[in-house]
Amino acid sequence: MKKPVAADGHDVAEAWEEFVQTQVYPEPGAKAKEDYRNYDSPARDSVRRFYEENHRKQTYDFVLGKRAEFLGLDRRQMSVFEACDFLNTLVDDSDPDIELDQLQHLLQTSEAIRADGHEDWFVLVGLLHDLGKVLCLYGEPQWCVVGDTFPVGCQHSERIVYPEFFSQNPDSRDPRYNTRLGVYREGCGLRNVLMSWGHDEYLYHVMKDYLPEPALYMIRYHSFYAWHREGEYDHLCDEHDREMLSWVQKFNPYDLYSKSPQPPDWNQLRPYYSDLVAKYLPAAIAF
């Protein structure tokens, strides 16, 4: 099963990731402030189409349906490295820009974290954070696997990428869901908020029994840019969310800016990562 490919030859997920990295949230200091979030000159038409579909279809009821469909975690049992292999065999192995497969991207992220001397569970998050993309291999389309995540069941922030497309979402016209709080209450805590469906939320549920709380926040909210980069939705947060926010912010640069054309030496690194995975995770995990 191959990834969806845009008309210009790039796959949709890679087009989104490049757009996020270079135009929406460029590396601090690499662009002038006025060049941030420049939607007047979007990266590619495929990115706009991706977000149009995502924002139109990610409704409160849709998310409830996907949670019921996938959070039983009864698709298959895999080790971490089997999950990486599974992802690589059924999705294009190469990045169109730097020709790195999924495991190599995860290793680059985790190695950058390790080089900066962070806790070993933080390093492990670098290795794990994209494994939820195995959803694509169950037939899920890219628009409900990757992309910026956001709360459903309440008003959509204007600081989400391409907010104009939410006008096509039926929840935006439903009085139950289109107010500032919607179905929630002030300060209810993000754990009580339904997020748009994607690989972050799915992997959080896969890993929630095994990792420290900061690690789980990194996994669950690393694509929630409206919160951790734009400062939106604080009215739904509690003090615990605010304490955990700094961990998500620490992780984000490693995810966006660790790519390099030099592939990691997996044969050399495997003993370290095998021991690290075994420290925190069982041999087989329910996906």
In angstroms, the CA 184 to CA 177 distance is 9
Pick 179 or 262 by higher pLDDT. Answer: 179
**Alpha carbons 123 and 121: distance in angstroms, whole number:** 5
pLDDT band at 94 (very low <50, low <70, confident <90, very high): very low
Q: What is the pLDDT of residue 45?
A: 72
Q: Which of 21-25, 87-91, 140-144, 162-166 has the highest mean pLDDT?
A: 162-166
User: Tokens at residue 68, please?
Assistant: 């019921």
Query: Residue 208 has what pLDDT?
Result: 98
Q: What is the mean pLDDT of residues 245-252?
A: 96
Q: Which of 37-41, 79-83, 126-130, 225-229 has the lowest mean pLDDT?
A: 37-41
Q: Where are the domains of the chain?
A: 12-282
Residue 159 has pLDDT above 90, yes or no: yes
Nearest CA to 227 out of 212, 256, 247 is that of 247
Structure-model confidence comparison of residues 24 and 202, the more confident one: 202
**pLDDT at 90 > cutoff 80:** no
What is the average pLDDT value for the chain, to the nearest integer? 85
Joined together, the tokens standing for residue 86 give 């599974």
Does residue 10 or residue 253 have the better pLDDT?
A: 253
How sure is the predictor about 15, in pLDDT bands with cuts at 50, 70 and 90? low
Q: Which two tokens stand for residue 243?
A: 């304490």
Query: Is pLDDT above 80 for 7?
Result: no
Any idea which residue has 């349906």 for tokens? 65
- pLDDT tens digits along 111-124: 999 999 999 999 99
Report which of residues 18 and 39 the model is more confident about: 18
Average pLDDT over residues 58-65: 98
What is the residue-wise DSSP string for the chain?
Answer: -PPPB-TTS-BHHHHHHHHIIIIISPPTTSS-GGGTT-TTS-S-HHHHHHHHHHHHH--HHHHHHHHHHHTT--S-EE-HHHHHHHHHHHS-SS-TTT---HHHHHHHHHHHHHHTT--HHHHHHHHHTTGGGGGGGGT--GGGTSS---BSSSPPPTTSSSGGGGGGSGGGG-TTTSSSSTTS-TT--GGGSPBPSSHHHHHHHHHTTTS-HHHHHHHHHTT-HHHHTT---GGG--HHHHHHHHHHHHHHHHHHH---SS---HHHHHHHHHHHHHHHS-SSEE-
pLDDT recorded at residue 245? 98
pLDDT over 50 (residue 132) = yes
